[in-house]
Each structure stands twice: as structure tokens, then as C-alpha cells.
Amino acid sequence: MPVLSRTSSATHARASLGRGDGVTIYWRPGCPVCAKLRTALRGHGDRITWVNIREDADAAAFVRTTNRGGQEIVPVAVIDGVAHSRPTPRQVLAALR
């Protein structure tokens, strides 16, 4: 998984890299993989920041910088400054422990 660049979509890169107390997950409505991840992570919402890329152009740009070819593949979880495209619930839960 790529390490986030501090220059990529600066607003979200700085926010994600600066957080040490949880996980940031970028998602979009209608994405079945996002819905499955969200369901699996119920009960941990206080430690996860969910960012809808359809409501935030900077977030969408950030997601495109983390995926090969500039694709908007979601979900993207930022864990300890590293972006994980399509993380498993197990990966996210491990980061929250």
C-alpha cells in the first residue's frame, strides 16, 4: 500500500497523517464494499472518521492520488499514515486495538 504524500490533496493528507487516535475511511454512497465494511465496523464508530467523497471534492482527489491510475476505488482506509485500498474489516479492527 502506498505511503501518503504530504502534497497529495493537502487538506486530507494532513488530517489523515496527523491523526493517531483512529482510522479515517473514505467511501461513497452506493458502494457495496463500503456498505459491507461499515456494517462490519459497527460499534467502533467513535474511533473511525467516515468521509463521503461525493460530498467533498478534496476527499475525492485524495482517493484518486492513493490509487493507481488515479482511480476512485473505495473504500480507502488511512491507518498510521498509510492508505489501504479496500481494506478488510480485520485490518481496520486490528488498527483500532
Residue pair 32/82 in contact by the 8 Å Cβ criterion: no
pLDDT at residue number 8: 42
- Predicted TM-score (pTM) above 0.85: no
Residue pair 76/26 in contact by the 8 Å Cβ criterion: yes
What domains can you pick out in the chain, each with its CATH number? 10-96 (3.40.30.10)
Instruction: Characterize 50-88 residue by residue with b for buried, 16 or more Cβ atoms within 10 angstroms of its Cβ, and e for exposed.
Output: ebebeebeebbbbbbbbbeeeebbbbbbbbeeebbbebe
pLDDT in tens, 46-89: 889 999 999 999 999 999 999 999 999 999 999 988 899 999 99
pLDDT in tens, 2-53: 333 333 444 555 555 555 557 999 999 999 999 999 999 998 878 899 999 9
pLDDT at residue number 53: 97
pLDDT at residue number 4: 39
Neighbours of 22 (CB within 10 A): 17
